[in-house]
Structure 1
Amino acid sequence: MSLRVAVQMDPIETINIAGDSSFALIESAQKRGHTCYHYDVKSLALDEGRLTAWAAPVTVQRVVGAHFTKAEYRKIDLVKDVDVVLMRQDPPFDLSYITATFLLERLKGQTLVVNDPESVRNAPEKVFVLDYARFMPPTLVARRIEDVREFHARFPGDLVMKPLHGNGGKAVVRIPADGSNLGALIELFDNAWVEPHMFQPFLPDISEGDKRIVLVDGVVAGAINRRPGEGEFRSNLAAGGYAEPTTLNAREEEICAVLGPELKARGLVFVGIDVIGGKWLTEINVTSPTGIMAIDKFNGTDTPGMIWDAIEVRHAAMQRG
């Protein structure tokens, strides 16, 4: 059965087709005969209970500089004209993002939204992971410098400081063991963000990279190891890191076995988790996970196909009521 798919994502004109997961999902959808629309989250409108978007039919091809074509934009009804919505715009996870989840949640039982918007709203990457503290490095979420100094005294050495709702390794900084730049960084973060910040001991194992493990409907689809680029400690691909093939060890398999059923129950179909040093869970990425193209390149797998298999099963179940 062919599906009508609306993809809520950033401008398709500027994506890097060599690694963009949304592009791969659209490409895979086309191969299955599904019709795809592209729309910007800012075009969502709720008019007397009817949720619409300003969207254009889109087709993609793997040709650099000519990777898509769009038909004319028009207003589409996200119930009458669409079977599936893919919520794929990048964070920041701010009030705009949260508002979009509230709007898309109104489609429940009528149009399948992937990932489930209520669950996305309730599972920001660096907050949801706190439910699994037994797999995490020591972690502090705080804003007062006194709390940070107390934490640092318990875990002497370098610290890592992160925006609680950041993404792609942006603004992740390393604080030296003497804490000489801590005060200035707290001031900077406090001015930039109203929420608390996250602190963890610096993990030297990051020099060996961290693993991005992708789970599809709670099942491991594959993994890559991401290593920091030259002069960097951040391994995020968006921050200059590079990918290499990898497999999972027993601890990582245990983490996935614990997380998998909960992700599936929450309607989090496409999730990427990050594990450092083979044992430290640091993030559960549910907003706009990436990494599937690198995984498939190394493993010869078809992760977009696995995601569409899961979506089609969920859509059929929803249709049956």
Structure 2
Amino acid sequence: MRVLVVMDPIENVNLKKDTTMAMLWAASRRGHELGYVQQQDLYIDQGKAFGLIASLQVFENNKNYYQLGEKNKESIAAYDVVLMRKDPPFDMNFVYTTYILEQAEREGAWIINNPRSLRDCNEKLFATQFPELQVPTLVSSQDSLIREFITQHQDVIVKPLDGMGGMGIFRLSANGVNIGSTLEILTQNGQQPIMAQRYIPEIVDGDKRILMVNGEPIPYCLARIPQNGETRGNLAAGGRGEARPLTENDLKIARRIAPFLREKGLIFVGLDVIGDYVTEINVTSPTCVREIDAQFGTSIADTLFDVLEAGR
């Protein structure tokens, strides 16, 4: 196949941890032809989707892991599969990119994940479609409603709707002294909604990332365990990653959400589970492949390409 990747600058990846590189290595091992493009190099010309695309070779070598060719104008639909792996923030540039990729989809390209669903399925809000799988959750910009929620549940996590890697997450208690200033900053003085969730004590045992490929759970998750008194388990916030087999409850959660992922064309997804509860459904550029592979000898990117090859 011809495989195009839309990603952040390849020269800046964390080679030890980067999930996109695992995908590209798997594609290369299987003999697929790779193209590379950044978000700003995608465009529409006379109603057709194009990119200034460079040919890409990748090597499983820490000192020499990629080689790029010259950029050339090329139809995005000339590729069999497009891996949309641009990291958040989910800003307007990201939205515009999904419109360009949606045009490429109309021309026959297969975008992973579906660009319309990337727009529709906010990683925090998508999870609220499954209230039976969540702790009590409020989404609001109103100071009074959030304060009422904190008073009711006593111990609460608040976070922005567009963050990643644990950015902007705060733990507030009903008798805390910084509630006002925290809510002012997060809601931009009541102008922007945020999410508030009852604190889940099981976070001390890890925030589990369950990877889903075409609606099927990978049998192992990565528990991201907070360190040094942190509330957040995110690896980007210093959490320690420990791969574990899925529990029966993890599988139950995955089976409940799977049909919705398939329906929306969300082929590669990361569910975040703390204790028995879903907190987020990550659809933009889920990670943790490398850590699970290293600890359990899996090759999750190959599992993904099994699906992509069968689909084409």
TM-score over 0.5 for the alignment? Answer: yes
1:174: which partner in 2?
171
Tell me if structure 2 keeps the 8 A contact 1:164–1:195.
no
Which amino acid in the other structure matches residue 266 of structure 1? Answer: K
Q: Aligned to 1:218, which of 215, 218, 241?
A: 215
1:319: which partner in 2?
none
CA shift at 1:136, angstroms? 0.6
Tell me if structure 1 keeps the 8 A contact 2:183–2:189.
no
Q: Aligned to 2:310, which of 305, 310, 313?
A: 313
Which amino acid in the other structure matches residue 69 of structure 1? Answer: Q
Report whether the alignment pairs 1:88 with 2:89: no
Q: Summarize the alignment of residues 78-227 of structure 1 with structure 2, pairs less than 5 Å apart.
A: 78-79=76-77, 81-108=78-105, 110-156=108-154, 158-191=155-188, 195-221=192-218, 222-227=220-225
- Consecutive unaligned residues in structure 1, runs of 5 or more: 317-321
Measured on the aligned residues, the alpha-carbon RMSD in Å equals: 1.5
Q: Please give the secondary structure, in 2, of the residue aligned with 1:120.
A: helix
Count of residues in correspondence between the two structures: 310
CA shift at 1:299, angstroms? 1.7
Tell me if structure 2 keeps the 8 A contact 1:28–1:304.
yes
Change (3 A) 1:123 1:193: farther
Which amino acid in the other structure matches residue 134 of structure 2? Answer: M
Q: Distance in 1 between matches of 2:190 and 2:111?
A: 29
Tell me if structure 2 keeps the 8 A contact 1:58–1:70.
yes
Which amino acid in the other structure matches residue 140 of structure 1? Answer: L
- Consecutive unaligned residues in structure 2, runs of 5 or more: none
1:273: which partner in 2?
271
1:32: which partner in 2?
30
Deviations along 1:251-286, one digit per CA (max 9) or x if unpaired, are 211111111122122111100001102x01001000
Deviations along 1:58-104, one digit per CA (max 9) or x if unpaired, are 1222333422111112222112x322111000011122212211221
TM-score normalised by length of structure 2: 0.95
TM-score normalised by length of structure 1: 0.93
Task: Give identity over the alignment, percent.
Answer: 37
CA shift at 1:192, angstroms? 8.9
Q: Distance in 2 between matches of 1:88 and 1:71?
A: 20
1:296: which partner in 2?
293
